Structure 1
Amino acid sequence: MNANSTAAIPIARPLWRDRALVLIGIAMSAFNLRTAVTSLTPLLDSLGQTFGFGSTMTGVLGMVPTAAFALFGVITPAIAHRLGLERTALLSMALAALGLLARAFVGDTSMLLLTSAVALSGMGMGNVVLPPLVKRYFGDRVGTVSTLYITVLQLGTILPALLAVPIAQAAGWRVSLGAWSLVAAAAALPWIGVLWMERFGQSREAKLLARAHDRAVTADDAAPELDAPRANGRVWRSPVAWGLTLMFGMTSLTTYSMFTWLPKLLVEAGGSPALGGSMVALFSTMGLLSAIALPALAVRIANPFPIVVACGVAYLAAFAGLLTAPMAAPLLWVALLGLGPSTFPLSLTLINLRTRTPGGSSRLSGFVQGVGYSLSCLGPLLFGWLHDVAHGWALPFAFLALCLLALLYGGWLASRPRMLEDTW
């Protein structure tokens, strides 16, 4: 029996009916949740030469995404409570667009850090609000819409990595970094439409959207109409929350370490910067495959821990290949490496599958992403520091192998078929 069978299961209705604009908003927002990361990492070597920074600052720049995601994982539920989920989604895309645009005009390393942090603050908000938005408007289609938005998120991770170096070579690094601000600005438009329809719209879809919002408010959703978020327990007391946090955090630590250092590893092994960018894109592409498959699979399996174990095996094989013979079969090693973070879409899907209400989903999403990204934010910096200390890659990969043990333990806790509200 499915783990969420104890909760009332909404009757499924056509995906587009009466909520098409929300679906477009979720999909477009998801596309923009990683563009600030993978549009930058393939250019870090050349930007280091331009601005005069080395490995330490490269590690700091690699740490900024997870640090921003951690901070906004903690504070976004309070922001969403005050503004509402839809307004918070709009704010997230506005901040992402502003930061990405400003980053194209920086003149030194400190401004590169600051503008990246602004863009990533918006993306950190988006990380948190998308799962409860899915729960609010698509409670009857959680698996389908989770698959959609995680798939689009992966596309937004792949394309910047693939295009960063070619655009920089053709038009300069400023255009390469700044072009993605247009995509973020476009993603704000559906949320403007949703807010207008819920407040002023007279169409059937507008009335049904407003009614869905009102029902969610009375069902303990994160919304400004409530005096305070009602909670029957403390998220941090739940083994479900800590298991998801460990799995999510260690996946993120490994992923962002690889986003930051995989290009340099391959260049040191004799590859070109373009190869480094294309391998980051391949790494993300494998995540796209798991994003398509994992949410739909997770809703059908009571205990998905065997999937977590398979991801661990893929990680270990990739680490061994990249460490011992990186240029012998880089496509194979990076493909295996990209299968490991299948625990990322699994974690996001379990946020909804292990909760009964949008309010529970919002609080669990904020806790998992806030604490999980806090655990992971030092990963890129430590990975680079260990490389400098050891003058090689063996010690950094040993560090990732230890983190993998924590991931497996977290996956075991999170995969057990029980609900957050029963354990807090």
Structure 2
Amino acid sequence: MSSTCESAGSSAPSPSLSPSLVAPAGSAAESHRTPAYADVAVATLDAERATAQTTVPAQSAPARGGWPAWLLLAAVVLLAFNLRPAVSGLGAVLDEVSADLGVSALVAGVLTTLPVLSFAAFGAMAPGWSRRFGSRQVLAAALLAVVAGQLVRVLVPSVPVFLLATTIALAGMAAGNVLVPAFVKAYFPGRVGLATAAYTTSMAVGTTLPAALTVPIAHAFGGWRFGLGAWAVTAGVALLPWLVLARRRGVVARPAGSSGRHESLWSVGRSPLAWSLAGYFGLQSLQAYAAFGWLPQIFRAAGVDAAHAGLLLAILPLVGVPLSLLFPSLAARLPDQRPLVWACGAAYIVGYVGLLLAPASGAVAWAILLGLGGGAFPLTLTMIGLRSRSHDVTARLSGFTQSVGYLLAACGPLAMGALFDVTGGWTVPIGLLLVLVVPQVATGLMAARPRYVDDELAAADAAQDVAAEDFAADPGAAGERADVDGPGHSRG
């Protein structure tokens, strides 16, 4: 399995890996000739673990390529802050932008769905960019795209240019979404929870402040261009440490014992755990985008005035700030994360039931509960790092999870709007979100069990190798064995 990040970012093995599980050196080659189907999978996996034990630095002293830890963490926190302002800031002044540029309702609709689709499409490309150019270099380029896109869209008075520039900024944000978890795994392998808490909290603040401050900035300085352009300045500040980090290329090395397989982002889909993470991420994102898109209208339909409805919506990201600080650290300390999955699911269920029964009288409580349910977002990002052993797999797992997840999330606001048009009310749309909590919790519980995507991919490799060798030796017998054992049968 090929490494995609710099050798300076080599990840440490899991502390739960027992020395008794490690096969003697050289056992991989010998076991590969064993005729027993299940034994080969076990021996191959053990040999890969043995290689990891002997070639990867200890977690207590992670290799950071000579960069001080404070610089790396500061760079990550500043980057994370700028992964949302281009979206949340635009939402605050979308009416003014539409009136000034002559944006049609159709184009305005495109602008509201463009972030989710861009996160899915460009996020899928990010691991490949990282393999080719290096993670630090790609993250620096991502921030440069965020700066350039936000500047161009406020300087050029053209609808096509505005759309193109917004897409460029979103491409940079998508790359950051995917590669930051892998960067944390590479440079802070023993502090995944702490580093994830730092950057997800920064991301939550970067979502909340632009929504609250873009309009006041626009009023103070004379228009929406200043309100949106201000966030290009913050992205420019965040770019400075990344320019320092990107100056040295670093060595892109294939770790000893790797097979060179699974370099494709989508090959991670051979892991059931990867699909569980993607499902959980997608369903929680669907809940979040549906709430941000329609919650004010739900409250207004219940008799809440427009200003109060906007304040109620602001509760969701505000609640997310302390959760982003708490959940990653707590998740990293727990033996598994199922209690947190249950907690987020319960908050969503009570919040939606409250919206159905008493939307106006308990509005503040329901908004807080839906914000608590949104703790599933930092929880998922943390589990991406906890469910992978190497930064290479973390990068591809992050890309796979977010690409699949954001495609699923894009369906949420559309389904809510369609159901409202058909039924003329919000009972059925809210009921849909309530029902979707069930598969969200189910996939979350599967993702929260303590295991590793790397191990599932290694076992799949071993099974595929044995099947190929058996078929080459005796095609008839190999077919009979496949019928009996099944394609993924292995022991242990």
Shift in Å at residue 377 of structure 1?
1.8
Q: Does 1:305 align with 2:354?
A: no
Aligned-pair RMSD on alpha carbons?
3.1
TM-superposed CA distance for 1:273, in Å, is: 5.2
Measured against aligned partners, the alpha-carbon deviations of 1:141-172 in whole angstroms (never above 9, x if no partner) come to 11111110111111101111122333344442
Instruction: Sort the Cα spacing of 1:272 and 1:48 in 2 relative to 1 into closer, same or farther, 3 A.
Output: farther
| Overall identity of the aligned pairs, in % | 38
What secondary structure is seen at the aligned counterpart in 2 of 1:417? coil
Residue pairs, 1:19-418, within 5 angstroms: 19-45=69-95, 47=97, 51=102, 53-54=104-105, 59-105=109-155, 107=157, 111-170=161-220, 171-196=222-247, 198=248, 213-214=250-251, 217-219=253-255, 234-271=267-304, 274-418=307-451
Distance, in Å, in 2 between the alignment partners of 1:68 and 1:275 is 31
| TM-score calculated relative to the size of structure 2 | 0.74
The structure showing larger relative contact order (alpha-carbon pairs under 8 Å, at least 6 residues apart) is: 1
CA gap 1:269/1:60 in 2 versus in 1, 3 angstroms: farther
d(CA) in 1 for partners of 2:339, 2:276 = 15
1-side partners of 2:188 and 2:177: how far apart? Answer: 17
Tell me how far 1:120 sits from its aligned partner.
Answer: 1.2
Which deviates further from its counterpart, 97-106 or 267-276?
267-276
Flag the 1:386–1:172 CA change in 2: closer, same or farther, 3 A: farther
The 3-state SS of whatever aligns with 2:278 is helix
1:60 Cα offset (Å): 3.6
**Letter of the 2:138 counterpart:** T
Identify unmatched segments of 5+ residues in structure 1: 200-212, 221-226
Task: State the distance in 2 between where 1:319 and 1:25 align.
Answer: 38
Pairwise CA distance, 1:269: 4.6
Unaligned ranges ≥5, structure 2: 1-12, 18-48, 458-492
1:207 corresponds in structure 2 to: none
Q: How many residues align?
A: 402
Deviations 1:308-350 (A, max 9, x none): 1221121122223334444323322211111111111111111
**Shift in CA distance, 266/178, structure 1 to aligned 2, threshold 3 Å:** farther
The 3 A distance-change label for structure 1 pair 36 and 262 is: farther
1:185, distance to aligned residue in structure 2 (A): 1.5
Greater C-alpha Rg: 2
The answer (yes or no) to whether the contact 2:265–2:397 under 8 Å persists in 1 is no
Deviates more, 1:320-329 or 1:146-155: 320-329
CA distance in 2, matches of 1:232, 1:28: 27
Structure 1 residues 301-310 or 317-326, which shifts more? Answer: 317-326
Deviation digits for residues 165-219 of structure 1 (CA, Å, limit 9, x no counterpart): 33344442222222111111211111111123x36xxxxxxxxxxxxx54x7344
SS at match of 1:33: coil
